[in-house]
């Protein structure tokens, strides 16, 4: 039988009584039935002891404010309404993510197996219109004319050739290597066709004079001069 003690004093007394009884038992002097009955009656009459817990008071239930309860019910109702659509949205997001991953995996596989599928031919860039400084071109022609007037036609033609190479280097940096010959420069595909043809014409005249041992006359210089004019002035790089 479970016994509850009301108050600290009753607990102390009960503990003391139990200790005395235990001491008596261990001392070898068992209590008589009358003594046990008297002790039981005294315990039952003790108002500080509780033997029945059926009528124990229940803790008070906390009541929420009406406005807070209404808000919580509205939130729960809203969540129950959108729960089903949100589930489909979540599933759709998973499917979309899976399709994206499969796309990238498939693309890498196809690119590794059949690289020509993704290989696209890039169109060659069109040369941009270019207009050199007119003053620079005229100064060159004047300098060449002075050499030609002195009968130094070969030097005048070489001057025009070297300035033509400088024009190419200014238009296409790092295109002309130091070891390139005039013929190699004339075969460069990055130079527009019309400008390359003009340069090849100038280089051919200079090669005949410089390497072929042919004397360059006034007509040969005039041909180089006209070729440079077409090379340097508007339209050559268009």
Q: Is the pLDDT of residue 214 over 70?
A: yes
Residue 127 is assigned to a structural domain of this protein: no
Query: Are 182 and 92 contained in the same domain?
Result: no
Query: Are 98 and 144 contained in the same domain?
Result: no
Query: Are 71 and 17 contained in the same domain?
Result: no
Query: Are 29 and 79 contained in the same domain?
Result: no
Residue 141 is assigned to a structural domain of this protein: yes
**Domain enclosing residue 197, as ranges:** 134-232
Domain count, the chain: 3
pTM value? Answer: 0.42
Residue 154 is assigned to a structural domain of this protein: yes
Query: Are 84 and 30 contained in the same domain?
Result: no
Residue 206 is assigned to a structural domain of this protein: yes
Per the model's pLDDT, the better-predicted residue between 197 and 100 turns out to be: 100
Query: Are 43 and 73 contained in the same domain?
Result: no
Per the model's pLDDT, the better-predicted residue between 20 and 197 turns out to be: 197
| Average pLDDT of the segment spanning 203-225 | 80
| Average pLDDT of the segment spanning 124-150 | 73
Residue 204 is assigned to a structural domain of this protein: yes
| Average pLDDT of the segment spanning 133-139 | 77
Query: Are 24 and 76 contained in the same domain?
Result: no
Residue 201 is assigned to a structural domain of this protein: yes
Query: Are 83 and 148 contained in the same domain?
Result: no
What is the per-residue pLDDT for 168? Answer: 79
The pLDDT tens digits of the residues spanning 139-153 come to: 888 898 898 899 888
DSSP code for 117: G
Query: Are 109 and 138 contained in the same domain?
Result: no
Query: Are 177 and 218 contained in the same domain?
Result: yes
Residue 124 is assigned to a structural domain of this protein: no
What is the per-residue pLDDT for 28? Answer: 55
Q: How far is CA 104 from the centre of its chain?
A: 16
Residue 194 is assigned to a structural domain of this protein: yes
Token pair of 222, please? 């005039």
Query: Are 19 and 46 contained in the same domain?
Result: yes
Query: Are 194 and 163 contained in the same domain?
Result: yes
């Amino acid at each position: 039988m479970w016994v509850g003690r009301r108050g600290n004093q009753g607990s102390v007394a009960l503990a003391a009584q139990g200790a005395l009884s235990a001491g008596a038992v261990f001392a070898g002097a068992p209590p008589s039935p009358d003594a046990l009955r008297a002790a039981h009656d005294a315990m039952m009459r003790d108002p500080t002891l509780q033997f029945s817990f059926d009528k124990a008071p229940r803790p008070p239930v906390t009541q929420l404010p009406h406005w807070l309860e209404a808000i919580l019910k509205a939130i729960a109702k809203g969540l129950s309404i959108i729960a089903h659509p949100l589930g489909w949205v979540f599933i759709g997001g998973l499917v979309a993510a899976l399709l994206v991953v499969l796309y990238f995996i498939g693309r890498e596989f196809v690119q590794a197996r059949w690289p020509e599928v993704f290989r696209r031919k890039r169109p060659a860039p069109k040369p941009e219109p270019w207009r050199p400084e007119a003053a620079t071109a005229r100064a060159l022609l004047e300098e060449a004319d002075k050499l030609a007037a002195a009968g130094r036609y070969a030097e005048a033609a070489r001057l025009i050739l070297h300035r033509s190479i400088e024009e190419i280097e200014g238009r296409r940096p790092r295109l002309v290597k130091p070891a390139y010959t005039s013929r190699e420069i004339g075969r460069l595909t990055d130079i527009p066709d019309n400008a390359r043809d003009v340069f090849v014409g100038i280089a051919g005249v200079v090669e005949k004079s410089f390497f072929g041992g042919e004397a360059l006359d006034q007509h040969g210089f005039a041909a180089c001069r006209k070729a440079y004019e077409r090379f340097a002035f508007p339209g050559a790089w268009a």
